[in-house]
Structure 1
């Protein structure tokens, strides 16, 4: 569990460095960084999305997951959490803070490493994935905080809690280490990241990416069901 907390520390440190450098950036540079990050996240997501073996399964998971997410209004709930943290910590940075929080949560929590990393620690004490993820998250948080501000630091709470749950559920989620299940989760996570990249590039219309998140857990549920039956 201490390794997961280390992941959070990397995000905080990276964000603080980004905040320091962000103060000297003009609005044009900030907007350009967001666009560049959007292109990078889109390509990163597209690479993972194309790893699927059965596209029909992935499409079904995405549709069902989106229906669940829309019903639960996960996008609205995550934004409300960002606003709550903003009020509690008395930060007055406008909508940019909430947007930074939501964007950072999606980038840091979507992907195979965010799920498989904590589970590997739980099953056999292997923290290698989280060490790698911590470095990547630290660099990404630096870039995000330089443009979105303090909201990126707030994401640390969600990242640590989310990965902590994966750690404690590790003994129940052994199926996730199977290549087929891991491949589906990676592909779905890639689609979500690609959508997030599009969001960063768009100036007006926004996709409710958070509402797609339940799709990532459907391959695990289906695998459990098949094993029981």
Structure 2
């Protein structure tokens, strides 16, 4: 029985609720400084995943083609529209967070959506539990996500809670498919997958810190391409 995805999703919902309801009591300097720390941690974790790479040319090729596909499919634009709709619906029932424009809201919402739902830790943790029944990796992510969602909810309001839903769906799907996927994955392929996930986490961290606005959501197709590209590189070139 799967446990990790539901615990992780619940943490995001609870953290979002706590952060949104306590926003008025948290000093502005804390709201401004902690996201920078989360962004820094995302960069650090991303770097730790990047150094595991086996075939960097395959990863680079997957990132370039994947991002091009994401741009052509307007992935980030679609997520942005969904984020705006989510904010509108939630604001009808719950108090909205004032002082944040729609563009600023979408910018931050997309970044944390990728941070929560597409991190290498979450994807690998879900696959690991599906294959072994061990949810320990997702438990570690749960602790981080609880505090991260709370802080971002002080800026984005109750909309952060909604992220818990796609997070659970994605992780459950990965866990259920893990028995079919993992036997076909070589260690080198997993290393390159971790590298691609690390690059996304670095881009997400830089975006959260407002250093550079990478099209993070449009980069997501690279995660689908990187393992096949790694396998092809190993067998045809490497």
Q: CA deviation at 1:158?
A: 1.5
Q: What SS class does the counterpart of residue 220 from structure 2 fall into?
A: helix
The residue aligned with 2:178 is: 170
1:109 pairs, out of 112, 117, 130, with: 117
Within 5 Å, give how 1:215-226 maps onto structure 2: 215-222=222-229
Question: Which structure 2 residues correspond to residues 116-127 of structure 1 after superposition, within 5 A?
Answer: 116-127=124-135
1:147 deviates by: 3.3
Matches of 1:225 and 1:36, distance apart in 2: 38
Structural mapping, 1:57-68, within 5 Å? 57-68=58-69
2:52 aligned with 1:51: yes
Specify the alignment match of 2:138 in structure 1.
130
Report how many aligned residue pairs link the two structures: 228
Give yes or no for contact 1:101–1:155 (8 Å, CA) kept in 2.
Answer: no
Distance in 2, Cα, partners of 1:210 & 1:173: 23
Deviations 1:81-140 (A, max 9, x none): 112222333264453544443222111123333222222232232222222222221122
- Tell me whether 64-73 or 149-158 shows the greater mean CA deviation: 149-158
TM-score (norm 2): 0.82
Aligned to 1:151: 159
Following TM superposition, by how much is the alpha carbon of 1:53 offset from its aligned partner in structure 2, in angstroms?
2.4
Alignment root-mean-square deviation, CA? 2.7
Counterpart of 1:74 in structure 2 is 75
Structure 1 equivalent of residue 84 of structure 2:
83
- Aligned partner of residue 169 in structure 1, secondary structure: helix
CA distance in 2, matches of 1:169, 1:74: 23
Give the gaps of 5 or more residues in structure 1. none
Q: Describe the superposition over 1:165-224 as per-residue Cα deviations: whole angstroms up to 9, x where unpaired.
A: 212222321147532121111111111111112112227x62211101111121333467
Question: Judging changes above 3 Å, is the alpha-carbon distance between structure 1 residues 78 and 64 closer, same or farther for their aligned structure 2 residues?
Answer: same
Matched, 1:207 2:214: yes
**2-side partners of 1:51 and 1:152: how far apart?**
31
Q: Is the 8 A contact 1:116 1:177 kept in 2?
A: no
In the alignment, structure 2 segments of 5+ residues that lack a partner are none
